[in-house]
Structure 1
Amino acid sequence: MVLGLLSRESGETLIDQIVRSVAARIDDRLLRGGARMPSIRAFAAAHGVSAFTVVAGYDKLVASGYLESRRGAGFFVREPAAMELNLAQRRPGGRRRTGEAEREHPGVKPIDVVWLVRNMFRQMPHGQMPGTGVLPPDWMDGVAIGNALRAVSRQNANLLIGYGVPQGFLPLRQQLQLKLAELEIAAAPEQIVTTAGVTQALDLVAREFTRPGDTIFVDDPAWFLMFGSFAALGAKVVGIPRLADGPDIAQLAELAALHKPKLYIINSVLHNPSSTSLSAAKAFQVLRLAEEHDFIIVEDDIYCDLHPGVAVQPATRLAALDQLQRVIYLGGFSKTMAANLRVGFIATSPERAERLADRKMLTMLTTSDIGERVVYKVLSEGSFRKHIDRVRARLDGIRAKTIRQMERVGLKVDVVAPAGMFVWADAGCDTNVLTEKAMAHNMLLAPGSLFSPKQLPSTRMRLNVAAMQEPAVWRFLERELGRS
């Protein structure tokens, strides 16, 4: 058994890396109950670590209920029944976590949206996560965030202990008004509602403007997390084929006439997972169909800051054309500033903004005033622009080289977007299977099946060019795709 690369520079101890990696393989049924673990000497030799490190790791796994030690025979994976009992005894009320019942059945856990998100939150080295949706931590401006946090902490303490206001921290909304004006979107502060990221923004909009049984259109492919969220609200989720310049207009017209959707969620700029952008011609056609069939367009522009601007590359935002009449615009800073701050926003008409602020208040009262103050501080002091320029320059510096390397190992990239961090590549094989193999080597891929509401097997997968700088990733792809 080889876990993949153990990093001495990751900030995580070698012992903890071993524990996390072995536990993950047991959780995902890649190591079955009763399986004998490699001997301490063999494990140490295979991973270039000391026997002491392996012993400490194995002992931690025994203590957490994943392994058992048999005198004179070695270490073994606990049988599922024993593991379930052990874990249940250590949880309040003896209840199992959601999804643990799946371990009672044979076979590997299915690769689904929950699987991908759960594994994205595992603390594996970023260089072994080419399927991740974020930039490497060392690309972020942690110094600016730290300075802003310290500045906020020095403010009047009474300002930091209350709820804030449901619509959001006013100075931040005023700053966002300026930001949107640069995109030619006119939005007064009362037209802006802050949220806990774009994820919450989408949830609020769907809850406010749809009812069980309504239809919501999404791009296909598109950001996977919203599929299950909308379905849980009782909505019917229908995919609109996404082309290089935007949706398939003929399909959009046909399906709109058939389903009469309430909402259409779209990435106009730097679409996830392809990094392509909407053309002006398609934008006008989408707005025309929205008017004809009376649906609201929800424009998710979370990757806004990774685009260099219309002076450098064409980019058409529906909200700029429509001026927030039929378009609800969403933005945030999790991809470019700090995911942990969870600060996003909605810009829309005054009437809809009031409704959404009330919905937010009924859902969670307010969002974190402290996080919003930090984001305001970073935006208002001007360093964010320079940070974004550096991030775009780094992406531009590696994108073409990374795509050439993808093609050398057997991946096909038929549309090369000039900006953004994602590539929508064709592996020529079932990427669910490829993803299972990658996880066995402690690497995370994002298979194409997850990016469609139909969830059917796909040869496509999303790759993050910023997370493909680890040689072990390329060696794995070369071996599995048959290219050298």
Structure 2
Amino acid sequence: MTDTPAPSLTSSLHRPGQILLLSRASGESLIDQIVRTVAARIDDRLLRAGARMPSIRQFAAANGVSAFTVVAAYDKLVARAYLESRRGAGFFIRERAPLNAPGTADAEAMNFSAGVQPGGGMDVVWLIRNMFRATANLQMPGTGVLPQDWLDGPAIANALRAISRQNSNLLLNYGVPQGFLPLRQQLQHKLAELEIAATPEQFVTTSGVTQALDMVAREFTRPGDTVFVDDPAWFLMFGSFAALGAKVVGIPRLADGPDIAQLAELAAIHKPKLYVINSVLHNPSSTSLSAAKAFQILRLAEQHGITIVEDDIYCDMHPGSAVQPATRLASLDQLRRVIYLGGFSKTMAANLRVGFIAASPELAERLADRKMLQTLTTSDIGERVVYKILSEGLYRKHVERIRSRLDGLRARTVRQMERVGLKVDVVSPAGMFVWADAGCDTNVMTEHALSENLLLAPGSLFSPNQLPSSRMRLNVAAMQDPAVWRFLQRELERLA
């Protein structure tokens, strides 16, 4: 071990996207917030073994807390084997033992980092539970779906009626494990437009992208393996991966893709099995991957033996590369090291739960077998509905209308966000999300919003470490109610 000082919390934990944001109104003590933040940085190797922590006085001054708070936090970190105290020299970061299988103390920490907060509170399950609350008056500016009146209910109803007139025996049997063949043939044409070559045998239909991610994770990971995700990223997968015994590590996401230096460094340390990424219209920022970053990601994946899982669920909200640059890893790799995921829950109907996996022929066959063991088949009826809408040309016009409506709202909505006190540093020219900075702990804001029947999506939920955040995801299509703006302006003024 060396006596090299650890990067201070100013240089390490206060880097962009890694702010140590202590909240006195979050319901969690300052001591526990410090312990959780420092432990997460050590787990992710952002603070290195053997390095010296800032002195108690330095830490207290830099973070606006008392020396007593720092002493108590450091003592807890020593008790949990994150730090060691050396008499007369200070506190040093200990070498962490390898991740154990679920059921050990490390498994508890793994669940914690995936958003399962001990004793309940605001976590991924909290947000999803409230999304499904049967409350007609609940406004959801943080939602990940479009308002119902943006979707084409009549097209789905007509497709269902047409299917009901077919031979009823077709609707009474199991579907095909790999998925409804005409739909897979239609998906072949859809991916060809994205310059991804795939035969119908390379597709496996799923119950949405959620099941697709779970199937891929079960195929590739074992307890103790590491999975990379963007940070921030779609929160639901954090808990899903941790439940499989995987360690979830976040790669800082920038405006044009991941931080390549961090990706390279962490890949060498963790040797991940998978890296899950939104190349196009990243959730929650709606930014897209640059071509340069795409090539660098594939090079690192080849070097470290990483399988890339490209989640392209927001694909159809992008106007296409002829209008705006859009680089997909699957189009560069042609499904050799990249597994491509897509679906229609965001643009057609969440209730249809129709998604798909595109992969190499050998992997698609294995995933179809795994799907059989899990659920036998997916709903043939939903797949027939999606096929009919796609094959009749209705879908293309529908998504053009969605993109046009989003384009008409985006700039105006962002200007209104800035007027009420939100900071928006990156505005994507496509997509429905804005990753806004409120300048305060958005967990606190979210709790207040729920009491007024508003559901926000605080930034802490989008990080695998669940650290307090001043960010939140806002959906420009779901912010048209004046009550949303009145709340935001009042709350931001109060918390300023």
Query: Retained in 1: the 8 A contact 2:313–2:344?
Result: yes
Q: What's the CA shift for 1:482?
A: 1.3
> Is 2:464 the partner of 1:468?
no
Q: Secondary structure at the match of 2:335?
A: coil
Separation in structure 2 between the aligned mates of residue 264 and residue 145 of structure 1, nearest angstrom: 34
**Aligned ranges 1:230-269 → 2 under 5 Å:** 230-269=241-280
Conserved? CA contact 2:179–2:205, under 8 Å: yes
Q: Once the two structures are superposed, what CA deviation does each residue of 1:37-64 show, in whole Å capped at 9, x if it has no partner?
A: xxxxxxxxxxxxxxxxxxxxxxxxxxxx
How far did residue 124 of structure 1 move?
A: 3.6
Deviations 1:61-119 (A, max 9, x none): xxxxxxxxxxxxxxxxxxxxxxxxxxxxxxxxxxxxxxxxxxxxxx9951100000011
Q: Describe how 1:13-162 pairs up with structure 2 within 5 A.
A: 110-125=121-136, 128-162=139-173
Selected match of 1:362 from 364, 373, 392: 373
| Gap regions ≥5 residues in structure 1 | 1-28, 30-106
Give the one of 292, 302, 309 matched to 1:298: 309
CA 1:109 to 1:295, structure 2 compared with 1: closer, same or farther past 3 Å?
Answer: closer
- Percent sequence identity is 83
Structure 2: distance between partners of 1:270 and 1:123? 29
* Regions of 4+ moved over 3 Å: 123-127
Look up the SS of the partner of 2:299 in the other structure.
Answer: helix
Asked whether the 8 Å contact 2:138–2:453 carries over to 1, the reply is no
- 8 Å contact 2:130–2:455 — kept in the other structure? yes
Q: Shift of residue 121 of structure 1?
A: 1.1
Q: Which amino acid aligns with 1:249?
A: I
Residue 397 (structure 2) pairs with residue 386 (structure 1): yes
Could you tell me the TM-score, scaled by structure 2's length?
0.75
CA distance in 1, matches of 2:489, 2:242: 38
Q: Distance in 1 between matches of 2:477 and 2:139?
A: 11
SS in 1 for 2:310: strand
Q: TM-score, normalised by structure 1?
A: 0.77
Partner of 2:199: 188
1:216 CA drift (Å): 0.3
Whole-angstrom distance in 2 between the partners of 1:252 and 1:355 = 29
**Retained in 2: the 8 A contact 1:240–1:248?**
yes
Q: Deviations over 1:284-332 (max 9, x none)?
A: 0000000000010000000000000001000000000000000000000
- 2:377 corresponds to which letter in structure 1? T
Q: Partner of 2:422 in structure 1?
A: 411
Say whether residues 1:345 and 2:356 are aligned partners: yes
- The number of residue pairs the alignment matches comes to 379
| Structure 1: distance between partners of 2:119 and 2:177 | 44
Shift of 1:123: 3.3
| SS of structure 2 residue aligned to 1:396 | helix
Structure 2 distance, partners of 1:423, 1:127, is 20
CA distance in 2, matches of 1:212, 1:481: 43
How far apart are 1:281 and its partner, in Å?
0.1
> Corresponding residue for 2:449?
438
List per-residue Cα deviations over 1:193-250 (Å, max 9, x = no partner).
0000000000000001111111000000000000000000000100000000000000
One-letter amino acid of the structure 2 residue matched with residue 192 of structure 1: F
Q: Is the 8 A contact 1:407 1:413 kept in 2?
A: yes
Looking at structure 1, the residues matched to 478 and 421 of structure 2 have their Cα atoms a distance apart, in angstroms, of: 18
CA contact (8 A) 1:127 1:470 kept: no
Contact preservation (8 Å) 1:262, 1:295:
yes
Q: 2-side partners of 1:290 and 1:347: how far apart?
A: 18
Aligned to 2:296: 285
Runs (5+) with no aligned partner, structure 2: 1-26, 28-117
Structure 1 counterpart SS, 2:284: coil
Matches of 1:383 and 1:172, distance apart in 2: 15
Is the 8 Å Cα contact of residues 347 and 353 (structure 1) preserved in structure 2?
Answer: yes
In structure 2, C-alpha distance between the alignment counterparts of 1:139 and 1:279, rounded to whole Å = 30
CA distance in 1 between partners of 2:356 and 2:136 (Å): 30
Task: Name the SS for the 1:216 alignment partner.
Answer: strand
SS at structure 2 position matched to 1:321? helix
